[in-house]
Structure 1
């Protein structure tokens, strides 16, 4: 199986991985590679700032289209800071819950917000 590396800085043209729109570009690159049955390494080399908004869009929404075991087997992150790893784990855990049962997650959010 072919390997592909997606370098965040090269893909979005910025060292600040903060915007959901930039995350969408990365999501589309990862999705295409996974659909083409490639192993994907997402490199965070030289990323100076990383937000959960970016990670939710780039990585989190993969759980809508791909099953967890395929993502685990074919997607790796590299060159990530410790705080980036913590943020990514939080995003992945939330995405798995959300895409497993979106309605229940929305009800929970509504309850918390008092809607």
Structure 2
């Protein structure tokens, strides 16, 4: 079976993946692929010069709200990311897993840290 590839560069209107709105577009494509087509997919970041956590939180982090960790792990691959960006992705994923496991607890903790 051929795994479809989503070239992120064709989805994002610049060389920079910084905007949460662009991340939302990618999230919706990934979700549709997982839900409707039951497909594994590869995200290609070839040609992208900058990736921010805001983009990754929206594009990939929120997948952990809707799908199991196992589904994401077996169905989503990335390529064309620098080691630095892969490290950022790992931090985003680790945080998303904690957050979506118990979002109320995370919100309370954030409020305590911020003194609210």
TM-score normalised by the shorter chain: which range applies?
Answer: over 0.9
TM-score by length of 1: 0.96
Length, aligned pairs only = 115
2:113 counterpart SS class: helix
Query: 2:28 maps to which residue?
Result: 28
Report the RMSD for the aligned CA atoms in angstroms.
0.9
Unaligned 5+ runs, structure 2: none
Shift of 1:13: 2.6
TM-score by length of 2: 0.96
Runs of 4+ in 1 over 3 A off after TM superposition: none
Query: 1:8 maps to which residue?
Result: 8
Query: 1:88 maps to which residue?
Result: 89
Shift of 1:2: 5.0
Unaligned 5+ runs, structure 1: none
